[in-house]
A and B are shown apart, each in its own frame.
Chain A
């Protein structure tokens, strides 16, 4: 199961105008939900299905396919050492970008998220994947992540409590997405 901010599901991921991104808020409007994960990650050595609609590949494979003019999946997964800017030519075609956290103490993904939202202007679903702890999710949301696929998924009540704790923060250019979590 995924935890996700409502209204950023794959069906209407572009519903929020780009201006919202430019002004620093993260696309969303509303509640956190749990939903099924329709997407599949294909490791680099696995054959890809015909239909790429819900297919995720590594950034390396994605860029290789782009280089070879092959059809592109709509999902990509960034490892900590990958570059976000390499995706800048393709972000319009992407519906899902996953940021992998192999261990929760590796903080590179926060910068990935921030750069994807701010630098590339990516407004699709941005999903944190891997070893993610409940007490970190507030910071992930503020960096631009809007869904979570965790090894140990926290319950939604705890997430709601943790992400609602701070009314104020010292970095106004990293806002919590529209106080969405309060109304979960």
Chain B
């Protein structure tokens, strides 16, 4: 993975010193509340319902064992002994004291991490496929390109005060696991007919209160032009994006108002003038970055047989089937660590568990860990022969919940318990669903299905792209929930359709049960929920859910 250069180290250190100075000036009354807010947001520091919340960047979801140990240390020293992994592959601490934040940033800098641009109206942490560099379906490893984008977007002088936040996602695989169609800019690494690598560029996707699927702005962008083209898009957005209304300020609104063709013309015109002057990079630069992401060494000897222990240990077998995936080296497996146990809120992990994962990554996965936008962790390079030992170790720390991709692997925003924007307590809905469907065998029967829960219109829980989306709304001071069905974030992204009027909090699990029963009734053979929904439409689901409710 990427190792900081001396310049990176000096830069991040300077940023730590800068923030310490800003806190000092704020304490002395030299920075007003609003200005300090703008500055702290650009270092990931929010003020939430109860306290400050610090969001730490995990660039493109890649962590080392050393870094994860440090994140655990921060949680135990400065917070309440846990952290929360977000849907943007970052980690949040919910209870830091303002005066400790400079020390936390210093601890991060010590292990080549930071919290730069994890909030505020600027270019946010770039996200990618959590399986990058480990799957056979990859055209090229996206991580060097993500690192290039990270560097380009870090404190970019022209784009630090945009109309609104700006999110870029990259996929290097034919199977999109980075949800590139629902980002401000989505980049797909592709090859053209001459076998040259480039990007298909999408723009104007996003969730939030006005969900949009991104439009293709360019079929093929030569990879050497990546940054100048991004620069051109950002420049058009910075100049033309709306600033009069917070809710209409994202690039998706601009693209949709102008129409993709007019927006494309504006970008191409700008690019024609600037492509040779701004933010160009050399081939040596990208090659040097590529050299920092070598493939996992090929293992000799063993075959591509599953581990023998699956025949003697049913629970291990279940976990193997549910939580591991093919690696491009058939002697290794990609292992998912579910952070969706029934014992803790989705995405939460204790310091002790972080230390465990860090140790296990060191022992079994070349010291590498990934965070996923589904709020789980991945050990990307585990030898097949070590899977059983790994499972036993994970199981001992409640880290072997065998539910990846299944009903209880829900995406859940922090909700009313932590977030000042939320209308609804998403964590209690998560608990309600977990309690109702606690039988894993039933979940395996259902196959892959996604429930995504957001506590408000801002859609941090990605409810628009869940097979079942749950959105918290407020009605005369009470929590109600709006359900959507048929959303999807993969290759053919789709936004869920509204099932009908919102339902009260106590009825959510009942409604989910009706939906699942309808699915089982309508399903042909082993169809996924998505396939059945596409075939039968929303009507049968509507009928059963509202018949039960009435």
Complex Cα–Cα for A161 and B30 (A): 15
Contact status B160-A107, CB under 8 Å? yes
Contact status A107-B274, CB under 8 Å? no
Q: How far is the CB of A180 from chain B (nearest CB, A)?
A: 16
Chain B residues with Cβ below 8 Å from A162 are: 18
Q: Answer yes or no: A11 CB below 8 A from chain B CBs.
A: no
Contact status B10-A168, CB under 8 Å? yes
Contact status A167-B155, CB under 8 Å? no
Given A105-B38, A110-B238, the answer on whether A118 and B157 have CB atoms closer than 8 Å is: no
**Residues 1 to 56 of chain B near chain A (Cβ within 8 Å):** 7, 10-11, 14, 17-18, 21-22, 35, 38-39
Contacting residue for B238 out of A104, A111, A171, A174, CB 8 A: A111
Contact status B158-A174, CB under 8 Å? yes
**Residues 54 to 104 of chain A near chain B (Cβ within 8 Å):** 80, 104
B38 to A, closest residue via Cβ: A105
Contact status B238-A168, CB under 8 Å? no
Q: Answer yes or no: B458 CB below 8 A from chain A CBs.
A: no
Contacting residue for B279 out of A104, A110, A136, A171, CB 8 A: A171
Q: Answer yes or no: A143 CB below 8 A from chain B CBs.
A: yes
Q: Answer yes or no: B391 CB below 8 A from chain A CBs.
A: no
Contact status B152-A170, CB under 8 Å? yes
Chain B residues with Cβ below 8 Å from A171 are: 152, 156-157, 279
Q: Answer yes or no: B543 CB below 8 A from chain A CBs.
A: no
Chain A residues with Cβ below 8 Å from B159 are: 107, 110
Contact status A170-B151, CB under 8 Å? yes
Number of interface residues of B (CB under 8 A): 33
Contacting residue for A135 out of B39, B154, B279, CB 8 A: B39
Q: Answer yes or no: A127 CB below 8 A from chain B CBs.
A: no
Q: Answer yes or no: A173 CB below 8 A from chain B CBs.
A: yes
Complex Cα–Cα for A116 and B84 (A): 45
B154 to A, closest residue via Cβ: A170
Q: Answer yes or no: A108 CB below 8 A from chain B CBs.
A: yes
Q: Answer yes or no: B300 CB below 8 A from chain A CBs.
A: no
Q: How far is the CB of A158 from chain B (nearest CB, A)?
A: 8
Q: Answer yes or no: A38 CB below 8 A from chain B CBs.
A: no
**Residues 118 to 132 of chain B near chain A (Cβ within 8 Å):** 121
Contact status B238-A108, CB under 8 Å? yes
Complex Cα–Cα for A174 and B152 (A): 11
Instruction: Tell me what chain A mostly uses at the interface: helix, strand, loop, or mixed.
Output: loop
**Residues 431 to 469 of chain B near chain A (Cβ within 8 Å):** none
Contact status B18-A165, CB under 8 Å? yes
Q: How far is the CB of B238 from chain A (nearest CB, A)?
A: 5
**Residues 140 to 184 of chain A near chain B (Cβ within 8 Å):** 140, 142-143, 161-162, 165-171, 173-174
Given A118-B274, A173-B277, A173-B278, the answer on whether A105 and B7 have CB atoms closer than 8 Å is: no
Q: How far is the CB of B273 from chain A (nearest CB, A)?
A: 6
Chain A residues with Cβ below 8 Å from B35 are: 104, 133, 135
**Residues 390 to 423 of chain B near chain A (Cβ within 8 Å):** none
Complex Cα–Cα for A166 and B154 (A): 12
Q: How far is the CB of A95 from chain B (nearest CB, A)?
A: 25
B17 to A, closest residue via Cβ: A165
Complex Cα–Cα for A166 and B39 (A): 16
Contact with A along B129-160 (1 / 0, CB 8 A): 00000000000000000000001101111111
Chain A residues with Cβ below 8 Å from B209 are: none
Chain B residues with Cβ below 8 Å from A18 are: none
Contact status B158-A166, CB under 8 Å? no
Complex Cα–Cα for A99 and B384 (A): 62
Q: How far is the CB of A134 from chain B (nearest CB, A)?
A: 9
Chain A residues with Cβ below 8 Å from B247 are: none
Given A106-B161, A110-B158, A111-B158, the answer on whether A118 and B243 have CB atoms closer than 8 Å is: no
Contact status A174-B157, CB under 8 Å? yes
Contact status B161-A110, CB under 8 Å? yes
Chain B residues with Cβ below 8 Å from A104 are: 35, 38, 161
Contact status A143-B158, CB under 8 Å? yes
Contact status B279-A167, CB under 8 Å? no
Chain A residues with Cβ below 8 Å from B38 are: 104-105
Contact status A139-B18, CB under 8 Å? no
Q: How far is the CB of B228 from chain A (nearest CB, A)?
A: 10
Given A104-B35, A107-B238, A108-B238, the answer on whether A170 and B155 have CB atoms closer than 8 Å is: yes
Contact status B14-A167, CB under 8 Å? yes
Contact status A111-B161, CB under 8 Å? no
Q: Answer yes or no: A35 CB below 8 A from chain B CBs.
A: no
Given A139-B157, A167-B10, the answer on whether A111 and B162 have CB atoms closer than 8 Å is: no
Q: How far is the CB of A89 from chain B (nearest CB, A)?
A: 16
Chain A residues with Cβ below 8 Å from B158 are: 107, 110-111, 114, 139, 143, 174
Q: Answer yes or no: A52 CB below 8 A from chain B CBs.
A: no
Q: How far is the CB of B109 from chain A (nearest CB, A)?
A: 14
Q: Answer yes or no: B235 CB below 8 A from chain A CBs.
A: yes
Complex Cα–Cα for A111 and B22 (A): 26
Chain A residues with Cβ below 8 Å from B482 are: none
Q: Answer yes or no: B312 CB below 8 A from chain A CBs.
A: no
**Residues 149 to 193 of chain B near chain A (Cβ within 8 Å):** 151-152, 154-162
Contact status A105-B161, CB under 8 Å? yes
Contacting residue for A110 out of B7, B152, B157, B273, CB 8 A: B157
9 contacts between A and B (CB under 8 A): A107-B159, A107-B162, A107-B238, A114-B158, A118-B277, A170-B155, A171-B157, A173-B277, A173-B278
Q: What 5 pairs between A and B have smallest CB-CB spacing?
A: A107-B161, A139-B157, A142-B157, A168-B7, A170-B151
Known: A105-B38, A110-B238. 10 other contacts (CB 8 A): A104-B161, A107-B158, A107-B161, A108-B239, A110-B157, A111-B239, A165-B14, A169-B155, A170-B154, A171-B279
Which residues of B come within 8 Å of A, CB atoms? 7, 10-11, 14, 17-18, 21-22, 35, 38-39, 121, 151-152, 154-162, 235, 238-239, 243, 273-274, 277-280
